[in-house]
Amino acid sequence: MSDKEIKVRDREALLFHSSGRPGKIEITASKPLTTQRDLSLAYSPGVAVPCLEIAKNPATAYDYTSKGNIVAVISNGTAVLGLGNLGALASKPVMEGKAVLFKRFADVDGFDLEVSTEDVDEFVNCVRFLGASFGGINLEDIKAPECFIIEQRLREIMDIPVFHDDQHGTAIIAASGLINACDLTGRKLKDIKLVINGAGAAAIACSELVKSMGVSPDNVIMCDSRGVIYKGREDGMNQWKSAHAADTDARTLEEAMNGADAFFGLSVKGAVTPKMVQSMAKQPIIFAMANPDPEISPEEVAEIRDDAICATGRSDYPNQINNVLGFPYIFRGALDVQASTINEEMKIAAAHAVASLAREDVPDEVAAAYSGRRLQYGPEYIIPAPFDPRLIIAVPKAVAQAAMDSGVARRPIIDMDEYENQLRGRLDPTAAHLQLISDYVRAHPKRIAFAEGEEETVIRAAVAYRNSGYGTPILIGREDRIHESAKKLGIESLDGVEISNAALSKHNTEYAEFLYGRLQRKGYLWRDCQRMVNQKRNVFASVMVAKGHADGLITGLTRNFNRSFTDVAGVIDAKPGEIPMGLSIAITKGRTVFIADTRVHNLPNAEELAEIAIQAAEKARQLGHEPRVAMVSHSTFGNPYSADTDRIREAVGILERSNVDFEFDGDMAVDVALDTSLLKLYPFCRLSGPANVLVMPALHAATTASKLLDKLGGGTVVGPVMIGLEKPAQIAQMGSTVNDLVNLAALAAHEAEHG
C-alpha cells in the first residue's frame, strides 16, 4: 500500500484537528491541585522555596521544574513541509504535530512556538532569551540559508541543545543507512565516492556529517539545480555551498554519477535517470530521498541494476529514511544528561546506534507487522522500522554516553543499566503495538463488514478504513441511501467501498439456509430465518463473516450491546475452550490497564472469572505487556469478609491449580491493585508490581469503571474489544466516533489474520 493510496482527505484532516478541543496538544498538571494546601504548595507561598533554591544554584531548576523534559519546537514558517513560506501562524499545526511526536516516541514534552519574523536578528534575539524555559530547542521548517545562520548563532550563545531537525535529523538517519549499506557491499566509508544532489539544509548537513564520520571530502561531489558545485564556480554560490565545492572536472549530475559508489538525493522527482544509475559502480547505494516522490523509484532502479541498495523517504518502500527514528531519542538522551549542546559526537553516536539496531534480530511483534517484507539485515533492511520499540533504549543511551565522553554532559549518568530501565519505563508499549497492528493490517488487508452502513458516522469510518489502506469496507444497507448520505458528507467517491443490500443480495437464500441450520432446533422456522437475513443487518453481516464473504464485522453504533451481541452470537460461536468477553484497554499517562469483562457476563462464577483472567492476560501479552492480574473486589484478602467474594477467591484457586504463566492474586480492592505503596502492606501478595489486568467481579462494576475512565480519566479507552468469538466481530459502544470505529475495524482485521 503506497503513500498515495493511504489517503487523507481534506475534510477528514480538518475534522481531526477541529473536533473536541481544537488542535493536538494541551497542558495538564503533573501534581494534584485539589485542595487549598495543594495550591499553597504549587503557588504562593510554597513556590517561593524552590525559587530561592534556583536563585542560589541555577542547576537545581532541573530538579524543581519541568525544564529538563521540555523542548521548544520553534519555526517562522518559511519552509513548511513541502508547501513553502506559509508564515508562522500557518506552521502551527506542524509544530503541534512535532510536539506530539516528541511525546509519543520519547516522552519529551514539546512546546510549540511560532515566531512571526523572517529577520534573522529578530528571530535569534527572540529565541535566545527563552533558554531559561526549556531544556532544548528544536528548530523546524526554516528556509535555507537563514536556517544555517540561526542555528549557528543560537548554538554559540545558548547553553542548551539547539538542533535543526530538517538538517540533522535527515543526515543522521541517512548516515545510519550508509553505514550498513557499506557494510553489506564490503566498502569502507573513507573509500566511497558519494554524489549528493541538492544543496539545501538537509543536503549540506548530510555532507558535513558523513565527512565527519570518515568519508573523504575529496570523494564527495555536491550538485544543485545548476549542476556540480565545483571550486571556482561563481554562479548561484554562497558560503555554505562553497564549503563543499569539489575539485573536479565534472559539471553535470550525469558526469558526477559516473563511477559513483553512492548517491544521496535531496532534490526533486525525476532528477536521476536510468542512464545515471547504469553508470554507477558495482553494487551502487542509492538513497533517493525527495518527498513525496523520489529522484528515481526503486522499481526503476531494479529494471536497470539488480545489485543496487535503495532507500527513499517513503513508507511503502523498504529502507525509509524517517526523521522520527532520530530526533525524539536524540533529545531524550541529551536532556537526560543535561547536555549543553548536541555535538557531532552525539550525532555520530545516534547514527551508529540506529545502524546497529538494524543488524540485530527483529522482535516478533515488529516482524509480524511488516511480514509483507523480509525484515532481516540485508539490502532491503538497512534501517530499523520506525515503530521498533527498541529505539527508545538504543539511541538515547548512545547519545547520552557520547555527551558524557565528549564533556558536554552536566549531569552524567552513573548507572547505565538503571538508565536503561528508566528508558524502558518511559513509554507504554500499548501505543506502539497498536501501531504495529495497523501496519500489519496494511500489509494484510481485509474485508470488513460495517453492519450499520447507512449511518453517516459509519460511512465516514468505512471511507477512513479504505483510505488508511486497511482493506475493503463493506457497507450493509441500501445503495441509494448510502450514496445520498455520502454526497451530503462531501465524500467525492466510494470507489473501493462495497455496498451490500441484505434484501437484494445474491447470497440471500444461501445465508437463510445457513441460519436455519443453526436455529431450526431453537424454535425458528425457515421464514423466520429468511426474514432475519433480509431485515436484520447484524445477522446478515454475521452470516457474511461466517460464510467467509467478509473477514470480520463491526456494529453497535445505533443499538445497545445486548441486542447487537444476541444477533452476532446467534451466528458466530465462541472459540473452542474460550468464552466471549469484552476487554477495555485504558491508556493513561504512564500506564495501560486492561479491564475485563466489560461486555458479556453479568455476575461471572468462579470458573468464568478464571477464564476471563486467562484470556485477558493473553491479550495483554499480545499488546506487549507482561500481565499482572488482580481479581478485583470491594475487599482485600478477606477484609471485610463477604460471601459475595467467595467466587473470587475460588477463581484464584482455579488459577493456582491451572499453573498459568502470569502473575495473579486476589481478592483485592482496586486501589491496592494499582498502588505499589499499598501492595507493600501485603508482603505475601504474588504481584511483583501494580496490576495491569483488572478482572472485575461483575459487569456493572466493569462497565462503570471503564466508562468513568473514558470520560474523566484524562486518557484513552480503546474498546471494549470483543475476544473469544470464533470469527472477528467487534461491537462498538453507542455514540462511538469515526476513530473508534476504525480502530475496532483494524483490530477485527488483525484478528482475522491471526485467529
Q: What is the pLDDT of residues 469-484, one digit of tens each?
A: 899 999 999 988 999 8
Dihedrals phi, psi of 719, to nearest 5 degrees: 100, -155
Report the chain's terminal Cα–Cα distance, integer Å: 23
- Of 35-39, 342-346, 621-625, where does the model show the most confidence? 342-346
| 577: amino acid identity, one letter | G
pLDDT band at 373 (very low <50, low <70, confident <90, very high): low
At residue 8, the pLDDT reads 54
Q: Are 1 and 469 spatial neighbours (Cβ–Cβ below 8 Å)?
A: yes
Q: Is the pLDDT of residue 3 over 80?
A: no
Q: Is 280 left (phi over 0), alpha (psi -120 to 50) or beta?
A: beta
At residue 2, the pLDDT reads 43
CATH topology of domain 436-570: Rossmann fold (3.40.50)
In angstroms, the CA 44 to CA 454 distance is 57
What class is the 581-724 domain?
Answer: alpha beta
Dihedrals phi, psi of 298, to nearest 5 degrees: -55, -30
Higher pLDDT, 439 or 176: 176
Catalytic one among 7, 56, 92, 98? Answer: 98
Q: Which residues contact 89 (CB under 8 A, 6 or more apart)?
A: 77, 114, 116
At residue 250, the pLDDT reads 93
At residue 369, the pLDDT reads 58
Stretch (H or E) spanning 351: helix 344-359
Domain ranges of the chain: 168-427, 436-570, 581-724
- 521-532, pLDDT tens digit by residue? 888 898 888 888
> 503: which DSSP letter?
G
Beta strands in 20-92 (DSSP E): 70-75
Mean pLDDT of 646-666: 92
Mean pLDDT of 505-514: 88
The reply to whether domains 168-427 and 436-570 share a CATH topology is yes
- 668-690, pLDDT tens digit by residue? 999 999 998 899 999 999 998 89
Mean pLDDT of 96-123: 92
Beta strand 285-288 with 220-224 is: unpaired
Q: Are 351 and 209 spatial neighbours (Cβ–Cβ below 8 Å)?
A: yes
Residue 98 among the catalytic residues: yes
What class is the 168-427 domain?
Answer: alpha beta
Three-class SS of 385-443? CCCCCCHHHHHHHHHHHHHHHCCCECCCCCCHHHHHHHHHHHCCHHHHHHHHHHHHHHH
Of 591, 580, 586, 596, nearest to 631 by C-alpha is: 596
> Could you tell me what percent of the chain has a pLDDT over 70?
95
At residue 179, the pLDDT reads 96
Mean pLDDT of 343-370: 83
Q: Are 71 and 138 spatial neighbours (Cβ–Cβ below 8 Å)?
A: yes
Mean pLDDT of 375-381: 85
Q: Which three cell numbers stand for residue 253?
A: 549530475
Of 555, 605, 583, nearest to 733 by C-alpha is: 555
Higher pLDDT, 374 or 167: 167
In angstroms, the CA 249 to CA 279 distance is 17
> Could you tell me what percent of the chain has a pLDDT over 90?
51
At residue 5, the pLDDT reads 45
Q: How does the average pLDDT of the chain come out, rounded? A: 88
pLDDT band at 713 (very low <50, low <70, confident <90, very high): low
pLDDT band at 40 (very low <50, low <70, confident <90, very high): confident
At residue 20, the pLDDT reads 67
Q: Which three cell numbers stand for residue 623?
A: 499488546
At residue 426, the pLDDT reads 75
Q: Angle 533-535-540 (CA atoms, 0-180°, nearest 5)?
A: 40
At residue 650, the pLDDT reads 93
At residue 73, the pLDDT reads 95
Beta strand 591-596 with 693-695 is: parallel
> 131: which DSSP letter?
T
At residue 109, the pLDDT reads 92
Count of all residues that appear for the chain in the document: 755
At residue 4, the pLDDT reads 41
- 293-319, pLDDT tens digit by residue? 899 999 999 999 999 999 998 877 889
At residue 104, the pLDDT reads 84
Q: What is the CA 293 to chain-centroid distance, rounded?
A: 23
Q: Is the pLDDT of residue 1 over 60?
A: no
Q: Is the pLDDT of residue 612 over 90?
A: yes
- 430-473, pLDDT tens digit by residue? 666 777 788 788 888 999 999 998 898 899 889 888 888 899 99
Mean pLDDT of 506-512: 88
